[in-house]
């Protein structure tokens, strides 16, 4: 098992690995694949002033896939902020539980691969809903609170080094029903679907015949899942 150099789920790990955001075979390669899938749920911008807020934007992986929006990110990481700016994102350092944006300012709020890193999922959803305008779209993806997800995404993935050691705390994985209930309280009715890698792509990526892996939707939400909903 890889040695943990920081506590599990320590956000400083992302600064430690800041040079890994964009290499196609880097430690965050899977996050690049998920960003493509996440962008499929983002509606086309209504106009040149349409604002997309990207919570915990990391190195700005969503940027190439949401052209036409004013893409504004927020992230805790000092080095991630610089990487995201280099890729065209307007970024502020901040906490997803206390967003530095006015109420109802955003046409789209995206929370990609952040909910499994926070204890207060309901607080993050409430803050996302606050900054989202009525009729705006909330998009997210996260890891399911199931034994098989904990086995695959922590025990196995860390052992074979497909995810960085200690990057996840399995106690924080999010049950889809909990997420839907949190959104429902904020007037957002989520549509949820599972995500899985296309098997042929994954095999080709492993033997260096593909630079990326396409993620495809599935009805099963017991591993990685994504969701989108419109604020009433």
- Domains of the chain: residue spans and CATH: 12-230 (3.40.50.150)
Task: Say if CB 213 and CB 33 are below 8 A apart.
Answer: yes
Q: Which helix (H) or strand (E) segment is 73 a member of? A: strand 70-75
Distance CA 192, CA 224 (A): 11
Distance CA 37, CA 180 (A): 20
Average pLDDT value for the chain: 95
Question: Is the pLDDT assigned to residue 146 strictly greater than 50?
Answer: yes
For residue 6, what pLDDT is reported?
A: 87
Reading the block at residue 141, the tokens are 């993806």
Q: What is the mean pLDDT of residues 159-175?
A: 92
Question: Is the pLDDT assigned to residue 5 strictly greater than 80?
Answer: no
Question: Is the pLDDT assigned to residue 99 strictly greater than 80?
Answer: yes
Identify the residue whose tokens are 């095999």: 203
Q: What is the mean pLDDT of residues 140-167?
A: 93
What is the residue-wise DSSP string for 173-186? ---HHHHHHHHHHT
Give the pLDDT band (50/70/90) at residue 4.
Answer: low
- Beta carbons within 10 angstroms of residue 153's beta carbon: 23
Q: What is the mean pLDDT of residues 120-134?
A: 98
pTM for this model (two decimals)? 0.95
What is the residue-wise DSSP string for 8-45? TT-THHHHHTGGGSS-TTSTTHHHHHHHHHHHTTSPPP
Residues in the chain: 232
Q: What are phi and psi of 71, to 5 degrees?
A: -95, 110
Percent of the chain with pLDDT over 70: 98
39-82: pLDDT as tens digits: 999 999 999 899 999 999 999 999 999 999 999 999 999 999 99
For residue 161, what pLDDT is reported?
A: 81
Task: Say if CB 129 and CB 138 are below 8 A apart.
Answer: yes
For residue 162, what pLDDT is reported?
A: 82
- 39-43, 88-92, 112-116, 156-160: range with lowest mean pLDDT: 156-160
Task: Say if CB 110 and CB 53 are below 8 A apart.
Answer: yes
């Amino acid at each position: 098992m890889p040695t943990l150099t920081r506590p599990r789920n320590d956000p400083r790990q992302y600064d430690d690995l800041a040079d890994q955001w964009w290499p196609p075979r880097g430690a965050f390669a899977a996050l690049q694949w998920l960003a493509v899938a996440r962008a499929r749920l983002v509606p086309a911008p209504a106009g040149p002033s349409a604002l997309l807020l990207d919570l915990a934007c990391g190195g700005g992986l969503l940027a190439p896939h949401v052209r036409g929006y004013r893409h504004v990110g927020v992230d805790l990481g000092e080095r991630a902020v610089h990487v995201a700016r280099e890729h065209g994102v307007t970024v502020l350092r901040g906490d997803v539980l206390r967003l530095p944006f006015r109420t109802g300012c955003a046409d789209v709020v995206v929370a990609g691969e952040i909910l499994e890193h926070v204890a207060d999922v309901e607080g993050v959803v409430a803050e996302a809903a606050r900054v989202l305008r009525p009729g705006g779209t909330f998009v997210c993806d996260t890891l399911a609170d199931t034994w098989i997800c904990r086995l695959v995404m922590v025990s196995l993935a860390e052992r074979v080094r497909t995810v960085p050691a200690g990057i996840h705390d399995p106690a924080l994985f999010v049950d889809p029903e909990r997420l839907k209930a949190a959104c429902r309280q904020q007037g957002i009715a989520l549509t949820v679907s599972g995500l899985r890698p296309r098997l042929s792509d994954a095999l080709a990526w492993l033997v260096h015949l593909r630079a990326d892996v396409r993620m495809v939707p599935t009805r099963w939400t017991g591993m990685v899942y994504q969701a989108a909903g419109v604020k009433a």
